[in-house]
Amino acid sequence: EDPALLAAFEARVANDEFIEPKDWMPEAYRRTLTRQISQHAHSEIVGMLPEGNWLTRAPSLKRKAILLAKIQDEGGHGLYLYCAAETLGTSREQMIEALHAGKAKYSTIFNYPTLNWADIGAIGWLVDGAAIMNQVPLQRTSYGPYARAMVRVCKEESFHQRQGYDLLLEMMKGTPEQRAMVQDAMNRWWWPSLMMFGPPDDNSPNSAQSIRWRIKRETNDELRQKFVDATVPQAELLGITVPDPDLQWNEERGHYDFGAIDWNEFYAVVRGEGPVARERMKARRAAWDEGAWVREAAAAWEARQAARRAA
């Protein structure tokens, strides 16, 4: 790579300018962005599945309408993100093929099952909460199309987070059984939510370069700490316990100290050994196959319109 081009690129990044699709960029920058944005897109699409599981069993029309809207938003986020990734030169078909072949990663969190209705609240509160914590700084990521996609995505995620918290607040006003369901959901989702931020900084192979190129604006551990600090008071307000005996406010640091994360579990889930990883991929492939006629019909319609325009 031409050192002058590289120096000019690095100067632009250091100056907080956005890099745009037609601008020169180092191949490693293109690669890591394609990797991160496509993984992010896959997470949104696979992330529709755990919630889709509860659409037919939502306890009221209001909750069903909210859940339907949220899942549609996630589909939309996936599509924006595939578009942003495509501007780097990989086609959507290639990315989707990699997902369906089990070669592409998506967030570990979506390999856990949704066992009770409170899980839907916990996903909104904790999973969307973690997603926002990670995505707000990505509005200032150095690649323009990714940064702009994050602006709208973050607005929608904050609605997702609030609907989840509201659902749990309402359940906490209910019967002892309902309150127990909320605690049970918290017990199962807390640790996997902390894992969403990725491996610890000293074990995160991509972080140093991504921070230097301002792809990532904050590190995995910094964001994880912010999430814990923001979420613990919300758990207290709900009236539930955080399943971590080592959790403690540290006056000196001005942050919560928290217990050790089970990184063996994290890496196993990353390797595709998550509790419902097989079901998720099976459902994705089935949705793709069963939707083939829709894609074909849309293409046929488009071809006919083009022929009419030409005539």
Whichever of 78 and 182 has its CB closer to ligand FAQ, that residue is 78
The interface region with ligand FAQ, picked from 36-44, 239-247, 248-256, 293-301 by CB under 6 A, is 36-44
- Interaction with ligand FAQ in 126-145: which residues (CB under 6 A)? 127-128, 131, 134
The interface region with ligand FAQ, picked from 13-21, 53-61, 104-112, 243-251 by CB under 6 A, is 104-112
Distance CA 71, CA 120 (A): 11
The interface region with ligand FAQ, picked from 183-191, 198-206, 249-257, 288-296 by CB under 6 A, is 198-206
Whichever of 134 and 256 has its CB closer to ligand FAQ, that residue is 134
- Interaction with ligand FAQ in 274-303: which residues (CB under 6 A)? none
The pair of three-digit structure tokens given for residue 150, joined into one six-digit string: 């994050």
- Is 164 a binding residue for ligand FAQ by CB under 6 A? The answer is no
Query: Can you list the positions of beta strands (E) in 163-268?
Result: 248-250, 255-257
Long-range contacts, 219-224 (Cβ 8 Å, 24+): 221/197, 223/133, 223/134, 223/137, 223/197, 224/194, 224/197
The pair of three-digit structure tokens given for residue 35, joined into one six-digit string: 């990797």
Residue with tokens 């394609």: 34
- Is 36 a binding residue for ligand FAQ by CB under 6 A? The answer is yes
Whichever of 177 and 202 has its CB closer to ligand FAQ, that residue is 202
Whichever of 145 and 198 has its CB closer to ligand FAQ, that residue is 198
Buried b (16+ CB within 10 A) or exposed e, 180-203: ebbbbbbebbbbbbbbbbbbeeee
- Is 40 a binding residue for ligand FAQ by CB under 6 A? The answer is yes
In 3D space, the residue among 177, 159, 49 whose CA is nearest the CA of residue 114 turns out to be: 49
- Is 204 a binding residue for ligand FAQ by CB under 6 A? The answer is yes
Distance CA 276, CA 269 (A): 10
- Is 38 a binding residue for ligand FAQ by CB under 6 A? The answer is no
The interface region with ligand FAQ, picked from 90-98, 120-128, 253-261, 300-308 by CB under 6 A, is 120-128
200 Ramachandran zone, left/alpha/beta (phi>0; psi -120 to 50): beta
CB 52 to ligand FAQ: min, Å: 10
Count of alpha carbons within 13 angstroms of residue 23, beta-carbon side: 19
CB 216 to ligand FAQ: min, Å: 6
Footprint on this chain of ligand FAQ (rule: CB under 6 A): 35-36, 39-40, 43-44, 47, 74, 105, 107-108, 123, 127-128, 131, 134, 195-199, 204-207, 210, 216, 220, 270
